[in-house]
Amino acid sequence: MTAQPDPMLDLIVNAMLQRKVIAPVLLDVRELTSVADYFIICSGNSSRQVAAIAQTVKKALKEHKFKPLSIVGLKEGQWVLMDFGDVVIHIFYDPVRNFYDLEGLWTDAARVVTPDLEKFEAAMQGQENAHE
């Protein structure tokens, strides 16, 4: 785990959490690739939810003057890839995420936890403990 290095990450997390994202993961890939500094991986329960997450992220970042270099997969809603230069966002339909297992491909990447992601993870842990 590393400290939050980029304020853009928390903007993205906040937008995702508005759409009840599943298991967001932030990876610091600066030491592993020149493609981007951070990968964000998350998923939704349906193709409509995946598209809604992507649209909410795009709108939130646009309000802060961040423009995507590219967005692909929005119509299909199975795997939306949003390239913001230093940050690449992967939003999957949950079964597709499990199939491709990007987290498994990037196991050497350090995980990043933003303040809002930390709150989200604590809330999820609390829910799991309540069900036991």
Please state which of the four CATH numbers 3.30.460.10, 3.20.20.140, 2.10.70.10, 3.40.50.1820 is assigned to the domain occupying 7-131.
Answer: 3.30.460.10
Burial tier of 7 (Cβ tally within 10 Å: 0-12, 13-18, 19+): exposed
pLDDT of residue 129: 66
pLDDT tens, residue by residue, 28-69: 999 999 999 999 999 999 999 999 999 999 999 999 999 999
pLDDT tens, residue by residue, 71-116: 999 999 999 999 999 999 999 999 999 999 999 999 999 999 888 8
Cβ-Cβ contacts under 8 Å for 76 (sequence gap 6 or more): 47
